[in-house]
Amino acid sequence: MEKSIKKIVLINFLVFLVIIAIIEIFFGHWFAEHSFGPYMREHRLKKNHVVLSYNDIKYDYYYKRNYHGFRGEEIEPAQIESVMIGGSTTDERYKPIEFSIAENLNVLLKKSGYNFKIINAGIEGQSTYGHIHNFKHWFPKLKNFSPKLYIFYIGLNDYSFEPDQDEYSNDNYEADGNLMNAEPFEVFFDTLKSNSFFYDKLRILKQKYYSTAKTIKYYHDSEKLKDFEYINYKQALELHNVEKLKLEHQIVISKYLNRVKILNSYVTKKNSTAIFINQVLVDGNKNEKLFILNHSLIEYCKNTNMYCIDLAAKLNGKFNYWWDKHHTTGLGSKVVAETVINDLIKIIKQENLF
């Protein structure tokens, strides 16, 4: 009797496993064209509770990345008309999304009569090297994803590259924003998790009803910026020897512009428009390497008829624009958006995009 019960239990268990396997095979993503595989595990279905303290005001919000990897609420890839691509200065997870550069641009565009929305595709830590990986391992997995406009906010995660550094090395995974975990063991399990029907549904439910991490607390430490001094573009031209810097950093400049060229080619192949916006640090144009990358980008765009917006030359930074060395406050993000909006609309009109 005991043996027959064990046999029945075993048979039922095996039947259960077969049913699970059938469901996984037919409804999972194992053979799907748009399966993420081992990529984007760290950048999809995120819902982190954040408490931000700034200027004696507390902001309590959720940092969200949707099913397809974009910051914000759910949206079908086919509905996305424009994306803003960059590192943490685009992602801006340390502030509510309505204070981000992308959302400030959306407000200004709407005021000008444009109803399309720029979707935030920023990934913390990404350089232009990482943006290239987006076109290889993220965007191709999005069904019917075909924006008319790609806005690249670049520079801050590129100026630290060294002349002899192989930016395409497998060891340089941080510069791609960790699109794929570097550990083989994690790659294996990330692939299983991404393809599993049941795990996928559980993550969607968790995203909807629960936070995916402990509460994160951010504080603005103004003491670190007490020696604030902003070098504007006019001052930078007096401070730096442009031709000397071009020679001194020619290898880094060449590699950087080649990555920009690759990004532009990806976009033009999709019959879309690319716009590149350069960046500055808290001290503006003081850093000579970042300054010459920004300067070279604008020259390159002019010579190749690409679209660039020279934020570095236009922005006059103030103390309360900066959260830290790299990142802007809510006010700073608003000013950045206001600084580039006219050039952005001019390009949109010229290309008759919307």
Please give the domain boundaries of the chain with CATH numbers for all domains: 79-181+227-351 (3.40.50.1110)
How do beta strands 57-65 and 46-54 pair? antiparallel
Residues 149/344/300/306 CA torsion (nearest 10 deg): 40
Name which of 63, 101, 64, 99 is nearest 83 in CA terms.
101
pLDDT in tens, 267-322: 999 999 999 999 999 999 999 999 999 999 999 999 999 999 999 999 999 999 99
Torsion angle of C-alpha atoms 279, 134, 182, 217, degrees rounded to 10? 50
Angle among Cα 349, 347, 338 to the nearest 5 degrees reads 105
CB 179 within 8 Å of CB 187:
no
Q: What is the pLDDT of residue 173?
A: 47
DSSP per residue over 109-161, as a string? Answer: HHHTT----EEE---TT--HHHHHHIIIIIGGGSTT---SEEEEE-STTTTT-
pLDDT digits (tens, 9 = 90+) for 109-156: 999 999 999 999 999 999 999 999 999 999 999 999 999 999 999 999
- Beta-sheet strand order (sheet of 149-153): 118-120, 82-86, 149-153, 273-277, 307-309
- Provide the 8-state DSSP code for 324: S
Provide the CA 326 distance to its chain's centre, in angstroms. 15
> What's the pLDDT at 9?
67
Closest CA to 109 of 344, 352, 347, 351: 344
CB atoms inside a 10 Å sphere around CB 98: 11
CB-CB contact of 89 with 328 (8 Å): yes
CB 352 within 8 A of CB 118: no
Provide the H-helix boundaries in the chain: 2-27, 88-91, 101-111, 128-133, 184-195, 197-209, 233-239, 242-248, 250-269, 288-304, 311-314, 330-351
Give this prediction's pTM. Answer: 0.90
| Strand 82-86 to 213-219 pairing | unpaired
User: What pLDDT score was predicted for residue 3?
Assistant: 64
Give CA–CA dist 179/309, Å, rounded.
27
In this prediction, the residues of the chain whose per-residue pLDDT falls under 70 are: 1-3, 6-13, 16-17, 20-21, 24, 26, 166-175, 210-224
